[in-house]
Structure 1
Amino acid sequence: MSIVLEKLFYGNLRPNESLQPVNSEYLSLNRKISTLIDSYHKKLSREEYDELENLIDLLGQSTSIYSSAAYTEGFRLGAMVMIEVFGGMNLKGDEQ
């Protein structure tokens, strides 16, 4: 069995855990977010800050669900491209 298929079978293939974007804009945005969160932590009451944290958690969950859907759709599209390229079929299943 191939190594990738074996990892997939045993649930050991988790690309989201090894993803580390190196885009400078991404890194800059995360620094700005951290600075703003720290600023709000100092300004807000404990209750207000807890509400802000809850909002941030909900946004994170929403982003995670969207990212998962985008990953799945991208994977499907890649597989369809491979089928078309290697199979000599178009996406409707008609031979070319």
Structure 2
Amino acid sequence: MGIVLEKLFYGDLRPNECILPANSEYLSLDQKISSLMDAYHKKLSPEEYDELENLIELLGQSTSIYSAAAYTEGFRLGALIMIEVFGGTDLKGGSSE
């Protein structure tokens, strides 16, 4: 366990850089986005295309913030589950309250 904590401390643990959804729909959507961006690049004036890129950048930032919050909440839930499992709480229907 110490190795994971050290990697986290030194900034060597970056799970967000290892994520590549295996879902074929994701890859298809990514290709469609690229094709549409190419089409808009040809269709719009440079100023209009810059505005579109700025909008997409803002959406990306918003999505990133939401994803970080979802990751954090998922991690917390996972930790709570581990505490419950290793804490010996009766998981067979008994309530701990």
User: How far 1:89 moved relative to its partner?
Assistant: 3.9
Report runs of 4+ in structure 1 exceeding 2 Å deviation. none
Q: Partner of 2:80 in structure 1?
A: 80
Q: Does 1:15 align with 2:12?
A: no
TM superposition score normalised by structure 1: 0.89
Q: Partner of 1:31 in structure 2?
A: 31
What is the number of residues matched between the two proteins? 93
Give % identity.
Answer: 77
Structure 1: 5+ residue runs without aligned partners? none
TM superposition score normalised by structure 2: 0.88
**Alignment RMSD (CA, Å):** 1.8
Q: Does 1:65 align with 2:92?
A: no
Q: Distance in 1 between matches of 2:37 and 2:9?
A: 40
Structure 2: 5+ residue runs without aligned partners? none
Q: Partner of 1:41 in structure 2?
A: 41
**Amino acid corresponding to residue 58 of structure 1 in structure 2:** L
Find the residue that maps to 1:66 and give its secondary structure.
Answer: helix
